Structure 1
């Protein structure tokens, strides 16, 4: 999976800033579905999963570990979070536990200043990310599983990709293609 992800990205530029929703986009289940369980989470190295105190397994979706490793190891490219998760502290805990193929945690791979987790329109999240990063909307690529969020964020001029199955390698490919097409326009 890693080679496929890296190989295809070579001929296209990765955006300066790639923004991810978390629940049902980066991982499953969603944090609110863990109510009654939740923190503390135990990390299982062999499966790269996190298990909550009730034994519910949280797993990364699609090609997330490979995609995050590729972005974070590309010069001048950053990862940001735009999430409306109900449990930001749980989300932060598991971001600090999940690992990429190179052994770094997801928290180490992202830009901590660009983590926006709160209720409200994703436009607010993206505007905060733009203001803190200095990257214009046209320099961003956004992934989310909710069509409403995609609609809102697209209206800002951000290339936005709907991910009903999470960020699979094909969703990542689609994002890079749409982004490079938008850059050429």
Structure 2
């Protein structure tokens, strides 16, 4: 199987669920309460159940990972990643309100990985269409990242590069 040089993940509704909303709609402060990460209103923020397994796969195969999020509250997203003990899992982070095209341009420049060697997971079709136009293999995540969606993405990437 041919593996990507860089795998990029969106945050909201791709890697995590923030109580059914986007992270920039939460209400800080964030805190751990009875083993759960919650905002001031008690909305739970949690990684989808297969996310750590997916990140372990990437680590074992030395695939570089990044996050790209268009959130209006970048500091909140970074804090949530830290509280979920996931920050160290991503070598690169593009978290700011802008087009995913800008995020990927920055990632390509910083990592020196060409677009056709990247794999991207996101829950918004507009982002999938935009980033696909760059030559990035882009996978739509309908209901949170699962092992099955991830495996399908790897297969699609590999077939495109065979």
Counterpart CA distance in 2 for 1:42 and 1:122 is 31
1:152 aligned to 114, 117, 130, which one? 130
Unpaired runs of at least 5, structure 2? none
Q: Does 1:33 align with 2:25?
A: yes
TM-score using structure 1 length: 0.80
- Shift, 1:120, TM fit: 2.2
User: After the TM superposition, which parts of structure 1 deviate over 6 Å for at least 4 consecutive aligned residues?
Assistant: none
Unpaired runs of at least 5, structure 1? 1-11, 99-104
* 1:12-161 equivalence runs, <5 A: 12-29=1-18, 30-34=22-26, 37-42=27-32, 45=35, 49-75=36-62, 77-98=63-84, 105-111=85-91, 114-161=92-139
Counterpart CA distance in 1 for 2:116 and 2:38 is 38
- Shift, 1:44, TM fit: 5.6
Higher relative contact order (CA 8 A, sep 6+): 2
Counterpart CA distance in 2 for 1:54 and 1:18 is 33
Aligned residues: 159
Counterpart CA distance in 2 for 1:13 and 1:133 is 19
- Shift, 1:169, TM fit: 1.3
- RMSD between aligned alpha carbons? 1.6
Contact 1:80 1:110 in 2 (8 A): yes
TM-score using structure 2 length: 0.90
Cα 1:44–1:21, aligned 2, differ >3 Å: closer, same or farther?
farther
